[in-house]
Amino acid sequence: MILVTGGAGYVGSHTVMALLECGKEVIVFDSLELGHMEIIDALKKLGNLKFVKGNLKTLDDIRGVFLSNKNIEAVIHFAAYSRVEESVKNPQKYYYNNVYGTLNLLNAMLEFGVNKIVFSSTAATYGEPVYTPIDEKHPQQPINPYGMSKLMVEKIMDDYDKAYGLKSVRLRYFNVAGADSSARIGEWHDEETHLIPNILKATSDKTFKMFGTDYNTVDGTCVRDYINVEDLANAHIKALDYLNKGGETNYFNLGTKSGNSVKEVFAACEKVKGAHIPLDVCARRAGDPAILVADNSRAKEVLNWNPKNDLNYSINTAYEWEKVLETMV
């Protein structure tokens, strides 16, 4: 049995789907503060899934999962707050949840003899890029509490490996995009902050805002590495296999090694929708680097992971999911 924390959220739910489709028995632990029970209900149709509502900040909640499920063999950990701007305004929320909550999880794992974990980390641990594409040797100098909270957890996991033999794989995501190819699940944030769904949601009453067109890039807008969520889910399966085969604690960038500008993404969304999308061009936002692109060579070499789905595929699946989501909210 695989325990997935935050399995009702965006990347977590797609990884649960991938696990179920591999025939794995899964237990999802989620507070439903950011996740949705409708997603869990859709996943339950696909395989052997148990759901437990709880919060990692409450040690007894997560201990109860291990007490009631003696056959947990590994953990995939997604449960976290992840909004950069919010983390700057309210760092206490991020350190308490992302760091203290993870400590509760790791300590429960030690208590019950579970010694393998795949951790949802982030490219935000690198901070402002010194060079690009960014490889795993790039300095880790976060510029916001969100990135710092994830880096703290990575350091804690290093120490827990050395002291207790708890093995971890940290997966540092770049920009996640897309949805399940059959539109069974997808991205669902009550306040959407991600680029592609915000473009697709734009209407005459809700104009899309493009921040900054004077960067030193191909067309003046920021360039980002958009990794498809199904490819990302597959990377978690690969990371789990790596640990099950005796792999040592490790860390990997997850991206495509290529980037797309905001203007390119906007044009692709218009093409998919087959309609004009209203646009406001605004000044730059503080703290937006011009280019963020991953060097994914290590993940390819060590995990044998290769992203298959391009940006157009991600936008198409995101758009199909948006149509489904409109009927649910």
For the annotated catalytic residues, the residue numbers are 146
Whether the bond into 278 is cis, omega within 30 of 0: no
Question: 260-294: buried (b, 16+ CB within 10 Å) or exposed (e) per residue?
Answer: bbbbbbbebbbebeeeebeeeeeeeeeeeebbbbb
End-to-end CA distance of the chain: 32
CB within 8 Å of 91: residues ≥ 6 apart: 145
Residue 27: closest CA among 9, 44, 39: 44
CA distance 260 to 158: 34
Two tokens at 280?
Answer: 């406001």
Residue 105: closest CA among 46, 54, 40, 33: 54
The percent helix, strand, coil of the chain (3-state, each to 5) is 40, 20, 40
User: Does residue 226 contact residue 269 with C-beta atoms inside 8 Å?
Assistant: no
Residue 316: closest CA among 143, 120, 180: 180
Chain centre to alpha carbon of residue 252: 13
User: Does residue 189 contact residue 261 with C-beta atoms inside 8 Å?
Assistant: no
What is the helix (H) or strand (E) element at residue 149, kind and residue range? helix 145-164
